[in-house]
């Protein structure tokens, strides 16, 4: 499923236009992104939790040349699925 498919489903289920559904999705994604930039967690009960994790600097290897390279420390977005999402995915 891509964004266009999601917009179609939301517009159909909520009886709204595709423009309104697109605006709703964009607002949700922008809000989650802004919260993660600040370092906050975003918990959607039953779905999961978005958070920011810190990765340490480390050494890596260039697969083409075999040369050692330094990989800088950085912050990464992380998603942990909730219990209800796990159950739904594993249900047959």
Give the residue numbers spanning the domain of 11.
1-38
Identify whether residues 45 and 32 lie together within a single domain.
no
Please name the residue that has the structure tokens 């909520």. 14
Q: What is the pLDDT of residues 4-56, one digit of tens each?
A: 999 999 999 999 999 999 999 999 999 999 999 999 999 999 999 999 999 99
Identify whether residues 88 and 45 lie together within a single domain.
yes
Please name the residue that has the structure tokens 């918990």. 43
Identify whether residues 45 and 82 lie together within a single domain.
yes
> Is pLDDT above 80 for 80?
yes
Return the beta strands (E) in 6-92 as ranges. Answer: 42-44, 48-55, 58-61, 68-71, 74-81
**How many domains is the chain partitioned into structurally?**
2
Going by pLDDT thresholds of 50, 70 and 90, the confidence category of residue 91 is confident
Identify whether residues 30 and 50 lie together within a single domain.
no
Contact (CB, 8 A) for 22 and 14: no
Q: What is the pLDDT of residue 14?
A: 93
Going by pLDDT thresholds of 50, 70 and 90, the confidence category of residue 77 is very high
């Amino acid at each position: 499923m891509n964004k266009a498919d999601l917009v179609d489903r939301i517009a159909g289920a909520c009886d709204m236009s595709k423009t309104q559904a697109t605006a709703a999705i964009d607002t949700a994604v922008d809000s989650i992104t802004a919260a993660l930039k600040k370092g906050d967690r975003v918990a959607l009960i039953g779905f999961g939790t978005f958070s920011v994790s810190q990765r340490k600097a480390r050494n890596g290897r260039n697969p083409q040349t075999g040369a050692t390279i330094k990989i800088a420390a950085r912050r990464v977005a992380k998603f942990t699925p909730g219990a209800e999402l796990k159950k739904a995915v594993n249900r047959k």
